[in-house]
Structure 1
Amino acid sequence: MPVRQPLTIIATSGTGGDIVPFVTLGRGLLERGHRVLMLVPSYHEASVKAAGVPYRTFGSREEFQALLDLPDLWDERKGWRVVWNALLPNLGTLRQLIQELPAEEECVVLCHPFLVPMAALARSVRPDLRIVCAYLAPSNLCGSYDMLTAGSLSIPSWVPISWRQALWRLIHKVWVDPVTLPTLNATRGQHRLPAVPHFFEHMLTAPDASLGLFPRWYASAQPDWPQAFSEGDFVGTSVREPAGLPPGLEQFLSEGAAPVVFTPGTGHQHAARYFDIAAKVLERLGRRGLFLTPHAAQLPASLPASVMWQSHVPFSALLPRVAAVVHHGGIGTTAEALRAGVPQLIVPYAYDQFDNGQRTRRLGVADVLLAKRLSVRGMQTRLARLLASPDVAQACRRLAQQVDQHPGLPWLLDRVEAALYPAAPGRPGAF
Structure 2
Amino acid sequence: MSLIRPFAGLRPTAKFADAVIAPPYDVLNSSEARAQTVGKPWSFLHVSKAEIDLPEDTDPFDASVYTKSAENFNRMLAEHVLVQGEAPCYYVYRLKMGKHVQTGIAAVASVDAYDAGRIKKHEFTRPVKEDDRVRQIDALSAQTGPVFLVYRANAVVDAILVEVAANSPDMDVTADSGVQHTLWVIRDSDQITAITSAFEAMDALYVADGHHRSAAASRVAAARKASNPAHTGNEAYNYFLSVIFPHDQMYILDYNRVVRDLNGLDANSLIARIGESFDVEMADEPVHPECAASFGMYLDGSWYALTIREELVPQDDPVARLDVSLLAANLIEPLLGISDPRRDPRIDFVGGIRGLSELEKRVDSGEMAVAFSMFPTSMDDLMAVADSGEVMPPKSTWFEPKLADGVVSHLLD
More strand by share: 2
Q: Specify which structure has the bigger relative contact order, considering alpha-carbon pairs within 8 angstroms and separated by 6 or more residues.
A: 2
Q: Taking structure 1 as the reference length, what is the TM-score of the superposition?
A: 0.29
Which structure's CA Rg is the greater one? 2
More helix by share: 1
